[in-house]
Amino acid sequence: MNLGKRGPFVLVGHSYGGFLVRLFARRHPADVEGVVLVDSVEEEAFFSPAAVKRRGVIGRELQDARSKAKSPAEARFYDEVLDELGSNRLVPTNVRKAGGFGRLGDLPLTVIAHGKPFGGDDAVLEPGWREAQQRLAKLSTRGKLTVAEQSGHNIQATEPGLIVDAVYEVVQQARTTAPVRP
């Protein structure tokens, strides 16, 4: 790892970033001492028919926005987002089920779920979201689920203190015992 910093680290991932954090933790276990997932996507919910359909709509909206880009840099931005969105089709079928990205052993883990439901076009994502957050918390024997009662999906904007507290708690847990890696 070449971050210029020495770990181990507590990783924090929001939404799709939760996939990235979990993937990093599985590939670099010696560099990770804990994980905080903030309303993170979970395999079964992310690859549900409703979520796939919603991403299709988002993809069309992004293509439309890309066609109206005012600069090459803006067009590249949309191209990169569309590329990332399209890469989801490459995820193997066996990984698209709950826990498909792997377990986290007894790594300290806090999952923070939104308390206020998705609204507007994203309301189709709400059914099963809380259950998905519960499944995420069970990826570690030391997993914990916290509900951000006052927040929608962007908890970092409405209740950032919950995230700060979760990071602090995970650091404290990591310092008291050395986690067993999966």
pLDDT in tens, 100-133: 888 999 999 999 999 999 999 889 889 999 999 9
Map residue 148 onto helix, strand or coil: strand
What's the whole-number average pLDDT of the chain? 91
Q: Name the phi and psi angles at 141, rounded to 5.
A: -65, -15
Task: Tell me the C-alpha distance between 20 and 119, whole Å.
Answer: 25
- Full-model pTM: 0.85
Record the tokens describing residue 83, joined without a space.
Answer: 């590329």
Whether residue 45 contacts residue 129, with contact meaning beta carbons closer than 8 Å, is answered with yes
Residue 136 class from Cβ within 10 Å (0-12 exposed, 13-18 middle, 19+ buried)?
A: buried
